[in-house]
Chains A and B, each alone.
Chain A
Amino acid sequence: MSAADRVAALVFWWVATYSRRLPVEVAERRRAELVSDLWEQRAYGRAVGAPTLAVALSILRRMAAGMPADLRWRQRQLAAARGRPLVLGGRPVLRTLARNWWLVLAGLVGIFEVAFGVAIPLEEGANFDTVGGGALIAAAGLLVLAGTAVRRRRSRVAGDIMIAVGALPMIPWLWIIPLPLAGLTVIVASAFDSAEARSLGERGTPLPAAERLVLAGVVIVAAALVAAVLIAGPMPGTLIIAPALLGLVVYLGLRQRRRAA
């Protein structure tokens, strides 16, 4: 039994739970529709060569996200069975928010990291450690914000990875419970979203070569920064970062000049 089959079994259990004591034909129709839906999703995943874990996570997300609607549906069916129709609606804005809640949270995490990264040297005095650490956290925040744009415009998977990586600096602040909780939630949600994109065989629009180079430059600088702050110390760290920074600046300058020409 694959991971997707196990999660499908979990969905069947959930359907059986929320359709308990409903009219038999109503419960049976919902169950049969879910049997078909889950079979089709797994078959589609196999057809596009999606990893079974990605399909499983996608099914799990669909189940979890639909739970409030399932419970409202049950409430409505029970009311109908008792002869009291129940009309439920909702504000479109709230529905959109409910669907994209984790992206809103990711945006808040990104903004917080940028603000926090800038605040560290201002609050604690500017030295190499505070500036380096602050820059690292602010860069992570920018990565989260860039990830939300990449996810929308280029590649959902790449954007999700950027968001997850960018949210990592929130995790070590264990003594301030909401911060690691928010970071972890964003990381888990982006992992689920990325898995679903993969389960659908989404490839996204590949980045142009120039943008790939810029991204590689940013990664090199970020890696150098981490090495400088965590391992090498201020002076050797500067020596590590300087060539990468210089290379990036030269590249961007040449690119700008070519564009102007």
Chain B
Amino acid sequence: MRRKPGTLLPLEVDILEAGLELRQTGGARFHGFQLAKAIADHAGPRPLTAHGTLYKALQRLEEAGLLTSQWEDPGIAAAEGRPRRRLYEVTGTGERALAGWHLKNGQTPTRPRLEPT
């Protein structure tokens, strides 16, 4: 089934909301597991988003310009003794798309301090 241009799927809304919430509470950029955890925490007793579902949605949002991403500095990962993280960030377009979605669906943002920019 084709989706209408400009519409957001529930998981995409969750990702954008969680990304903005993480921005409020810490850094602007977040990695995959951090995002899955934030979504699960926010939605009550909800399982962690499956690998395939999560990374496919992230790629889709990035292609739509709602997220950007880049690999972190390998030096930081090496210093902390872990694999490199792919770090994502919600763009201005992403924020506007989410605000538009809330307006269209008559819902108030479920996460704190979510304002269109």
Contact = CB atoms under 8 A, between A and B. Distances in A.
Interface of A: 11, 29-30, 32-37, 39-41, 43-44, 58, 61-73, 87, 89-92, 95-96, 99, 151-152, 156, 159, 193, 196-197, 200, 202
Nearest to A61: B47
Interface in B1-60: 1-3, 9-11, 31-34, 36-37, 40, 44-56, 59
17 contacts: A11-B51, A32-B71, A32-B83, A32-B86, A34-B51, A37-B51, A40-B34, A40-B82, A41-B48, A44-B33, A62-B48, A62-B50, A63-B50, A69-B50, A89-B1, A95-B10, A151-B45
B9 A36 contact: no
Contact of A159 (B45, B46, B48, B54): B45
Contacts of B86: 29, 32-33, 36
Given A37-B31, A66-B52, A200-B40, 17 more contacts: A32-B83, A36-B83, A40-B31, A44-B37, A58-B47, A61-B50, A62-B47, A64-B50, A67-B52, A69-B50, A69-B52, A89-B2, A92-B10, A95-B9, A99-B47, A152-B44, A196-B48
B83 A193 contact: no
A36 B45 contact: no
The residue in B3, B52, B53 that gathers the most chain A C-beta atoms within 10 A of its C-beta is: B52
Nearest to B46: A99
A222 to B, nearest CB: 24
A68 B52 contact: yes
Interface residues of B, number: 33
Contacts, number: 106
Interface in B86-110: 86
Contacts of A64: 50
A115 B47 CA distance: 30
B85 A36 contact: yes
- Nearest first, the 7 A-B pairs at minimum CB distance are A66-B52, A66-B50, A69-B52, A89-B3, A65-B50, A70-B52, A40-B33
A37 B53 contact: no
Contacts of A200: 37, 40, 48
A105 B50 CA distance: 20
Contacts of A70: 51-52, 56
